[in-house]
Amino acid sequence: MKQLYESLGISKEVYEYGEGILEALKERFAAIDETAEYNQLKVIAAMQKAHVSAECFNASSGYGYDDIGRDTLEEVYAAAFHTEAALVRPQITCGTHALAIALAGNLRPGDELLSISGRPYDTLEEVIGIRPSCGSLAEYGVTYAQVDLLEDGSFDYEGIEKALRPQTRLIEIQRSKGYQTRPTLSVAQIGEAIAFIKERRPDVIVMVDNCYGEFVERLEPSDFDADMIVGSLIKNPGGGLAPIGGYIAGTKECVERAAYRLTCPGLGKEVGASLGVMRSFYQGFFLAPTVTAAALKGAIFAANVYERLGFKVVPNGSESRHDIIQAVEFGFPEGLTSFCEGIQAAAPVDSYVTPEPWAMPGYDSDVIMAAGAFIQGSSIELSADGPLKPPYAVYFQGGLTWPHAKLGILMSLQKLYEKGHVTLPVKQQ
Ligand SMILES: *Cc1c(COP(=O)(O)O)cnc(C)c1O
């Protein structure tokens, strides 16, 4: 094994350091496997309940009327996430798009959108109009308010109480930290906040940005009364196989309103050809619990590898996990770039290219991204990225298999080690 790693470019020192870290993680990995087992059963049960058949994998074209594969898949998502309905489509181009239609479909002029988990994900700033943008919700007369999380990352209940106004129509909660260094919210924490809101304002719609959170825990925010959970299929629920897509799962009313925005008023869910991607949507969802488990192991391994070397890691090496993202703060740009070079060098695809920082649409600073992915930009596949600005934090996520995640992390360390940015602790005898 060591020889094979060496032939891939991992030195003996880096390999042995990694093995030492892994020794201590056995129990946590066993617990992750149990969660995957639970969620796998949940998905199989949903597929059986919805009567998934081989016919569901056929492609439809044109209008896509009566597409049984598409309609059954939406039943599967609704059954797995315990919601009344779901919208799962290749016409949803990404997570931002799914969130945008969930918001635009459910908000009307004069309504207020309230975020209670602080600043939303970068790309949503333009959707909402926090950064002025053509076609934003702000242009349509939807106002925006925000309550930041408290210092310790928990909800500011006093602030939320004060921010609830008669025009508050929809509350957004972002589960994952995104490009921030706050802790990710647990499903239990989100559930508590939903109960708090519903007690005061049962008329308000609660939407959870569930990106990166699916199948990390046994329950989802929809198990706690969220009206909509929203995510991307090139993250967890696509299982690495979905080539495009997003989902919205929630109440029948909310999902239908979003569908009228995705297609158009009057047509809603009734149109939308599935174009031959259904097999990968089903199979990806089927694999998603174990793929998410692989990614989670990678995140925990990375946290422990870099924490022990003195870097700040979020979450830390021993914290419980609520999404698959791992942040490592290097504090200097070469740390971030070397890490990304390592992830790229360990990839099955495009391993021979070197990632460079670049301006990206939707982001306000240069971003470096490493991915040797089968699906462009897929972040359930092993990938790392980070904005080139202090604290030079890398956001690392994904890994379709645990051995690949392990190789990627060892390779990132190898790059830092070779350039003299880290010294490895002497092995204890
Ligand atoms: C990835 C992500 C999004 C946006 O998804 P894209 O597919 O990149 O558009 C939104 N919110 C969170 C928390 C995310 O992690």
The pLDDT of residue 428 is: 52
Ligand 1 binding site (Cβ under 6 Å of any ligand atom): 94-96, 121, 123, 174, 176, 178, 209, 211-212, 232
Could you give the count of Cα atoms lying within 13 Å of 61 in the half-sphere of its Cβ? Answer: 0
Report how far ligand 1's centroid is from the alpha carbon of 232 (Å). 7
Report how far ligand 1's centroid is from the alpha carbon of 97 (Å). 9
The pLDDT of residue 362 is: 67
Please state whether beta strands 143-146 and 205-209 pair in parallel, antiparallel, or not at all (unpaired): unpaired
Determine contact, residues 179/121, Cβ cutoff 8 Å: yes
Report how far ligand 1's centroid is from the alpha carbon of 25 (Å). 29
CA 249-206-248 angle, to 5 degrees, is: 20
Report how far ligand 1's centroid is from the alpha carbon of 121 (Å). 7
Report how far ligand 1's centroid is from the alpha carbon of 297 (Å). 21
Q: Which long-range contacts (CB under 8 A, 24 or more apart) does 161-164 make?
A: 161/200, 163/114, 163/116, 164/114, 164/197, 164/200, 164/201, 164/204
Distance of CA 110 to the CA centre of its chain: 31
Instruction: Name the nearest CA neighbour of 400 among 295, 250, 307, 277.
Output: 295
- Report which residue type is found at 273: A
CA 413-419-424 angle, to 5 degrees, is: 50
The pLDDT of residue 270 is: 97
List the chain residues with pLDDT less than 50: 429
Within 8 A by CB and 6+ apart from 207, the residues are: 99, 102, 103, 106, 170, 171, 172, 173, 226, 227, 228, 229, 230, 250, 254
Q: Which atom of ligand 1 is nearest to the CA of 177?
A: 13
Residue having the nearest C-alpha atom to atom 12 of ligand 1: 211
Residue having the nearest C-alpha atom to atom 5 of ligand 1: 95
Report how far ligand 1's centroid is from the alpha carbon of 178 (Å). 7
Q: Which atom of ligand 1 is nearest to the CA of 325?
A: 15
Distance CA 260, CA 241 (A): 27
The pLDDT of residue 429 is: 45
Residue having the nearest C-alpha atom to atom 14 of ligand 1: 211
Q: Which atom of ligand 1 is nearest to the CA of 174?
A: 13
Report how far ligand 1's centroid is from the alpha carbon of 322 (Å). 15
Determine contact, residues 233/196, Cβ cutoff 8 Å: no
Q: Dihedral angle at the C-alpha atoms of 85, 175, 317, 4, nearest 10 degrees?
A: 50
Mutate to test the pocket of ligand 1, among 99, 232, 397 (most ligand atoms within 8 A of CB): 232
Report how far ligand 1's centroid is from the alpha carbon of 428 (Å). 42
Report how far ligand 1's centroid is from the alpha carbon of 255 (Å). 19
Residue having the nearest C-alpha atom to atom 7 of ligand 1: 95
The pLDDT of residue 288 is: 98
Report how far ligand 1's centroid is from the alpha carbon of 251 (Å). 22
Mutate to test the pocket of ligand 1, among 211, 325, 380 (most ligand atoms within 8 A of CB): 211
Report how far ligand 1's centroid is from the alpha carbon of 159 (Å). 26
The pLDDT of residue 177 is: 86
Q: Which two tokens stand for residue 396?
A: 């690392």
Mutate to test the pocket of ligand 1, among 89, 99, 117, 121 (most ligand atoms within 8 A of CB): 121
Instruction: Name the nearest CA neighbour of 404 among 295, 300, 326.
Output: 295
Q: Which atom of ligand 1 is nearest to the CA of 97?
A: 9
